[in-house]
Structure 1
């Protein structure tokens, strides 16, 4: 480290308008908490590659869907790798930061995920449904997602998209982790209102479910959000494993939970930086 207080470039898009979420508020508050232990500078994701060489680490937070600036993001990751810059989360995640191909692989391996295929010849692996969800493999924030009937499945341009049955789930629930340690859970009791979240008390089976995916991802440092849905039969199924820049909904948790999360993140960053 180059200073008594480690320096962090905190990457965020304060102007990004996310449906049902206030990216800017969360990052202003979280970066303010981190400033108690680190020297912090905020920057837009398009400026990160140019600025990161002056900092001990780069923390990527609410930077918006990278597909809006994919070329610049790829160049940023390449430069960080070549220069040895520490990125948090590290760019070695196997889940959303690498695209959604992992959902196909986990489904084929028998993990509890929404059944997912990416080739027309594999459609027989999916349960029959009135509608199917088609998602771009590099999609985010529901961009490019559409619902289609079974009669349209043969028209899809396979290779760049995923296909899943549309499940009439009871609710969605998210589990939040720092490194591989569970912090809190929130759920959306009304499926049509994804970001109207409430406190969720997970049972032992719920935590085993979420921990399984976090352990599969093998990220020793960083923040992850396991998004799942409760199927009609009561089973939890993975919707996605967000390991790039998951929104944390910290404004919706109790003050003590928020303080514990910040403390755990600080400890993770100190360990990540080597002391």
Structure 2
């Protein structure tokens, strides 16, 4: 690595087996582009805590669900907070990086999210539904997700599970942001083929919806993906605010959009590398 360039520890599980996608291809592409501006090494998420003191920046990308290594992930977050490591996406986020408790909290506060509770005694707060989606608070990529009828809910009383009604929607759409800036949007026109994504042109109302959650999360630097579903009555509801390691589906956008994204990411990382090590944003790293 060239010594006068910022050094990036790029965190990725290159062997992670995702349904319908090859996460490693995206990371191979991104690292090949970022090497033009940074010295760079790739490591597995389980090695990140030990290796990060030797690097200027830690970029967490397609590192897989933390459900399988929760203790190690919490230790990484704690070490990053103690040392003031520059982590991209920053760890102060209130979305998936800290688990899915935010869905419960936002629903209680009246935000446009899929109704969500985590206690069987609160099921009556949800709209009536023939089926319910139950998933772990620290899951991703549908790991641990089950669909049950109402009679099956009492058997799933567990503090790390959340419950949502099975929403009838017309399509899912994702809005991709870098820092606070919108980059592009993709959608799955066929609900039964979630990862067959196509470019989506958002209108002002769509962008206002997504920006509301970006502003709420208040992240200074990093990548965020706002996942939403379009209900039968035309409304958008938040499905997830992914601020840990959102897959970017860069192979689904055109070359010019991809180049603009890489340029914006390079600028953001360069700006982050200029911050003194150990500088604080004034926002705490939330417990995961």
- Specify the TM-score bucket, using the shorter chain as the normaliser: over 0.9
Structure 1 residue 159 displacement after superposition:
2.1
- 2:284 aligned partner: none
Provide the TM-score with structure 2 as the length reference.
0.92
Query: In the alignment, which residue of structure 1 is the partner of 2:117?
Result: 117
Deviation at 1:3, TM superposition (A): 4.8
1:70 aligns with 2:38: no
Give the alignment of 1:242-253 within 5 angstroms.
Answer: 242-253=242-253
Taking structure 1 as the reference length, the TM-score comes to: 0.96
Secondary structure of residue in 2 paired with 1:76: helix
1:208 paired to 2:177? no
1:1-275 matches, within 5 Å, as 3-274=3-274
How far the C-alpha of 1:270 sits from its partner, in A, is 1.2
Alpha-carbon shift at residue 48 of structure 1 (Å): 1.3
* SS of aligned partner of 2:140: coil
* Residues 137 and 162, structure 2, Cα contact 8 Å, conserved in 1: yes
Q: Deviations over 1:104-155 (max 9, x none)?
A: 0001111110111112232121111110111111111111111111122233
Q: Which moved more, 1:45-54 or 1:89-98?
A: 45-54
CA 1:49/1:158 → structure 2, altered by over 3 Å: closer, same or farther? Answer: closer
Indicate if the aligned counterparts of 2:101 and 2:137 stay in contact, CA closer than 8 A: yes
Secondary structure at 1:97 match in 2:
coil
Paired with 1:128 and 1:75, the residues of 2 have a C-alpha distance of: 40
Q: Please, which moves more after superposition, 249-258 or 133-142?
A: 133-142
Measured against aligned partners, the alpha-carbon deviations of 1:204-232 in whole angstroms (never above 9, x if no partner) come to 10000001001100101000000000001
Q: Distance in 2 between matches of 1:178 and 1:70?
A: 26
- 1:7 Cα offset (Å): 0.7
How far apart, in 2, do the equivalents of 1:164 and 1:68 lie?
Answer: 23
* Whole-angstrom distance in 2 between the partners of 1:182 and 1:59: 19
Q: How far apart are residue 83 of structure 1 and its match? A: 2.0
Distance 1:119 1:17 in 2: 32
Secondary structure of 1:46's partner? helix
- Contact preservation (8 Å) 1:226, 1:238: yes
Q: Judge conservation of contact 1:27–1:61 (CA < 8 Å) in 2.
A: yes
For structure 1, the residue ranges without an aligned partner over 5 or more in a row are none
Distance 1:122 1:45 in 2: 36
* Secondary structure, aligned partner of 2:97: helix
What's the secondary structure of 2:164's corresponding residue? Answer: strand
Q: What's the secondary structure of 2:246's corresponding residue?
A: coil
- The secondary structure found in structure 1 opposite 2:51 is helix
Q: Give the CA deviation at 1:274.
A: 1.9
- Are the counterparts in 1 of residues 66 and 139 from structure 2 also a CA contact under 8 Å? no
